[in-house]
Amino acid sequence: MLELQKGCTADDCKNITGEDGRCTDSGEDSLSDKEPSTALENIEFPLEAGDLQIISLEKLVEDSSYFRDGRSIWPEGYTAVRKFTSVTDAKVSAAYKMEVLRDPESKRRPLFRVTVDGGEQVGFYSKE
């Protein structure tokens, strides 16, 4: 993810080092060279990517195919915060918390919930 954000591809470099975010080929293993579970264990949270703050990735769901499709994976317990224009006052910004939960009714489908910093739920979507 960081490689894509910095404009690097797997063909360009093995990993990213340094504060300037430039690509280097130091010979060290990149995250893509490791098993996913091993690579994720070394990430410290919260993780910031631009104006997105990832609080938690939690776990990949193995018992339901609804938590993934051909292009995306939605880990259960994923939580992130991002500032957007407030839905109540367009002159200010508000922090919105985005979560992927398990739908309590179906128990097999993801539930996408968005709440504003005051706790008010502003949207949710259950993947059909």
pLDDT tens by residue, 87-101: 888 999 899 999 999
Q: Is the pLDDT of residue 69 over 70?
A: yes
> What is the four-CA torsion angle of 10, 15, 17, 20, rounded to 10 degrees?
10
Do 36 and 86 fall into the same domain?
A: no
Do 4 and 67 fall into the same domain?
A: no
pLDDT of residue 68: 93
Do 48 and 14 fall into the same domain?
A: no
Instruction: Give the global pTM.
Output: 0.64
Neighbours of 4 (CB within 10 A): 10
Rg (CA), the chain: 17
Q: Which residue has the higher pLDDT, 24 or 79?
A: 79
Residue range of the domain that includes 35: 1-43
Question: Nearest 5°: CA angle at 98, between 116 and 125?
Answer: 100
Within 13 Å and on the Cβ side, how many CA atoms surround 3?
15
